[in-house]
C-alpha cells in the first residue's frame, strides 16, 4: 500500500514535467501497443510508455558522452549505445513524417512473465 501511494505521488509530480518537455520538443513519448491490428492507436495502453530524446545530441549530453568517444574509439564499448541508437532511429522516424500532422510512435513488449522480448518501433503505413 505504501509503495502504491509513493508511485501515485511520484507520477503526479513527474507527469507535468514530462508534458512540458514534450511540448517543448525535447522528448517524445513512445507508447505501448499490442500491435494486433490497424490502427495501432486503437490498442494503445497510455500507462506504458518509454521516452526518447528528439535530438540525439541532447541524449549524449545528458549521458555525458563526447562525440570523439564515438568516432575515435571504435572498439570502445559504450554502455548506452543501444539507447542512443534507439533515440536516433526514433528521431529519424519522426523527421520523415509530415510536420503539420501529429505523429505517434509505438513499441511492443512481451508481457509474459520472465520474458524480455521487445520491438522498439511499430510502424503503420497507409
Q: 37-70 pLDDT, tens per residue?
A: 788 877 888 888 898 988 888 877 877 777 676 6
Give the global pTM: 0.75
Q: What percent of the chain has pLDDT over 90?
A: 7
What per-residue confidence (pLDDT) applies to 47? Answer: 84
Asked whether the predicted pLDDT for residue 20 surpasses 90, the reply is yes
Asked whether the predicted pLDDT for residue 79 surpasses 70, the reply is no
Indicate the domain borders of the chain: 25-122
Residue 97's φ and ψ, nearest 5 degrees, are -115, 160
Residue 43's φ and ψ, nearest 5 degrees, are -115, 30
| CA neighbor of 121 nearest in space, from 99, 88, 81, 80 | 88
The overall average pLDDT reported for the chain is: 79
Question: Is-cis flag, bond preceding 39, omega within 30?
Answer: yes
Most confident among 38-42, 67-71, 84-88, 91-95 (mean pLDDT): 91-95
In angstroms, what CA-CA distances link 81 with 65, 104, 110, 111? 10, 24, 23, 25
Amino acid at each position: 500500500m505504501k509503495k502504491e501511494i509513493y508511485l501515485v505521488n511520484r507520477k503526479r509530480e513527474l507527469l507535468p514535467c514530462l508534458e512540458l518537455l514534450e511540448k517543448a520538443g525535447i522528448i517524445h513519448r513512445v507508447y505501448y501497443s499490442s500491435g494486433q491490428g490497424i490502427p495501432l492507436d486503437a490498442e494503445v495502453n497510455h500507462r506504458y510508455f518509454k521516452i526518447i530524446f528528439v535530438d540525439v545530441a541532447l541524449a549524449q549530453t545528458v549521458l555525458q558522452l563526447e562525440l570523439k568517444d564515438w568516432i575515435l574509439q571504435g572498439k570502445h564499448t559504450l554502455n548506452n549505445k543501444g539507447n542512443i541508437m534507439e533515440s536516433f532511429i526514433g528521431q529519424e522516424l519522426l523527421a520523415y513524417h509530415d510536420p503539420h500532422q501529429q505523429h505517434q510512435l509505438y513499441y511492443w513488449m512481451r508481457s509474459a512473465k520472465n520474458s524480455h522480448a521487445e520491438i522498439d518501433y511499430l510502424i503503420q503505413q497507409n
